Amino acid sequence: MSYFSELAYQYIDGEWRTGSGSWDIVDFNPYNGEKLASITVATAAEVDLAYRAAERAQHAWGATNPYTRRLVFERAVRVIEDRERELTEAIIAECGGTHVKAAFELGLAKEFLREAVSLALHPEGRILPSPIDGKENRLYRVPVGVVGVISPFNFPFLLSLKSVAPALALGNAVVLKPHQNTPVCGGGLVADVLAAAGLPPGLLNVLVTDIAEIGDALIEHPVPRVISFTGSDRVGRHVATVAAAHFKRTVLEMGGNSALVVLDDADVDYAVDAAVFSRFVHQGQVCMSANRLLVDRSLERAFTERFVDRVRTLKVGDPRDPATHIGPLINETQAEAVTALVERALAEGATALVRGTADGTLVGPTVLTGIAPDSPVLAQEVFGPVALLIPFDGDEEALKIANSTGYGLSGAVHTGDIERGVRFARRVDTGMIHVNDSTVHDEPIVPFGGEKNSGLGRLNGDAAVEDFTTTKWVSIQHGRSTFPF
C-alpha cells in the first residue's frame, strides 16, 4: 500500500526525512501480522528541529487573515473525499478497524475539519471599562504559539486532527507525535492531507518516536506552550506532571469506565441495540465504550437474553470483510491483557454467558455476569470486547454503582421518561452522558472531556478556543496620566 512506503518518515519543516535514531519502529497490520512499514525513530535532536521549525513558521501564520487560514481546512475536506477509498484501506490495515469503524472515523474527521473552518473566525476581542479617566482596556485573543499533540492508536487519524485542526485554525503551529502502533494513520496521513490542502511548510511537523529514545523531550522542550494528550490515564498523569513542572498548559483526554444504565421503563430492544454498539464498536477499544451495562432487576432477564442473543451473532474476523463486526485488537499484548482480565474475573466467581476465544489478536466477545461488587474488573477500563452485566434495584442503587469508579468520561441512560433520564444523567459524575442513546458520541461544537481520572479540560468548539489561544491585555491612555511621583 503506497501510503506505508511514501509516508514512513519523519515530517519536519515540510520535508519527509529519515530519523537519526539507531533503531526502527516497525508498523504491523494487527490482523495478519504483515509488515507495513519500518520507520527509523526521531531523536531529541529532531524534536528540537521540529519545534524550531514550528516556532519560525507560526509567526507569519498567526498574522495571516483568518479568512485565508480557513481555506486550508475547506480544501482538506475535499482531499479526504477524493481519497476516501485509500484512507479507508489504510485505517483497516494499520488499525484493524472494520469498514463501519473507518467510515465513522473519516466522517467525523471531515466534520472536525469543517468546524476548523468556522473556528478560525471564533476568537473575539473585548473592551473593558477602567476606573481611570481616559483609559481604554483592550483584551485580544491570540494564539498560544506552538502546540505539542500526542495522539492514540484507536482512532488515530480522527484524534490527531481533533487537536491539530483547531490549533492550526486558531493561528498556532503544531508538533504531532502519533502512537507507535499507528504512525502513518495518526501522523503521516494527517501531514499529507493538510500539505495537499495547502498548509505552509513548518506549521505541522510529525515525529515518529518513543519515550525510550527521547525521554520527556517532547513535553519539556521550551517552545510549546500547550500539550494536548489523548491516551491512558497512567501516561496522562506523567504528561501532566512534567508539563506542570515547566509551566505548560495541558489538555488531557484519557480513559473511561462508562456505564450504560437501563431503567425499569426502558425500551428493552432499543437498549440492547445501543448496548451492543456501545460495548463492541472497534472491538471495545474506545474510551467512551460502555464497560458496564447496568440493568434494573425487573428487566434483567429480558435484557440479558436479548443482549446475549445479539452478541452471539457478531462476526469476528478479517476487518477487510464488510460483514465483520469485530476485528483484531491492536497487538498481541493487548489481546493477552483482555484474556487475562476475563480469566481473573471468572476465577473471582463471575459467570460467562458468552465466552469469546482468542486467536492471536482476534478476541471474540465475552459477556460476564455475577461479578462481585468489589471486583477490580469493575473499577478499570476494559479496552476490549468484554461486557459486564450488573443488575440493580432502583435508581439510587444504579447511581451509586455508576459513580463507583475513578473515571468519568461518558455514559448513557435508557428510560421511557425523558425528563427522568435527564434528572438521572445530571447526577452521574461524568463529563458527557446521553439519554436514550449510545455512550459513544463526539460532535465538533460540543465540549468533549471527562471528570476525575478521565482528564482535564475540554476539546471541540469554543472549548478549543480556550485551549489553544490566550488573552493579551493592551491598555491605552487617552490624554496624560498623572503619577504619584
The rounded Cα 416 to chain-centroid distance in angstroms is 31
Active-site residue, selected from the candidate residues 105, 115, 253, 381: 253
Q: What is the DSSP letter of 312?
A: T
**Quick one: residue 415, left, alpha or beta (phi over 0 = left, psi -120 to 50 = alpha)?**
beta
Cα separation, 79 vs 478, in Å, equals 50
SS3 350: coil
Active-site residue, selected from the candidate residues 287, 396, 443, 451: 287
Which residue's C-alpha cell is 480557513?
70
Cα separation, 117 vs 346, in Å, equals 50
Contact in structure between 447 and 460 (CB atoms under 8 Å): yes
Q: Can 253 be counted among the known catalytic residues?
A: yes
SS3 444: coil
Angle, alpha carbons 161-164-169 (nearest 5°) = 110
Task: Specify the pairing of strand 135-143 against strand 469-477.
Answer: antiparallel
Q: What cell was used for 358? A: 482468542
Q: How many CB atoms lie within 10 A of CB 484?
A: 3
Cα separation, 111 vs 443, in Å, equals 8
Angle, alpha carbons 340-343-347 (nearest 5°) = 135
Q: Can 115 be counted among the known catalytic residues?
A: no
Which stretch of DSSP H or E encloses residue 229? strand 226-230
Contact in structure between 104 and 60 (CB atoms under 8 Å): no
How deeply is 300 buried, as exposed, middle or buried, from its count of CB atoms within 10 A (0-12, 13-18, 19+)?
Answer: middle
Q: Which residues 6+ apart lie within 8 Å of 212 measured at CB?
A: none
Contact in structure between 389 and 353 (CB atoms under 8 Å): yes
Cα separation, 229 vs 247, in Å, equals 16
Cα separation, 420 vs 25, in Å, equals 51
Q: Which residue intervals of 259-331 are DSSP H helices?
A: 268-280, 300-311
Q: What is the DSSP letter of 186?
A: I
Give just the sign of the alpha carbon dihedral 52, 57, 63, 66. negative
Phi first, then psi, for residue 75 (nearest 5°) are -70, -35
Contact in structure between 280 and 385 (CB atoms under 8 Å): yes
The amino acid present at 240, given as its one-letter code, is: A
Catalogue the active-site residues: 253, 287
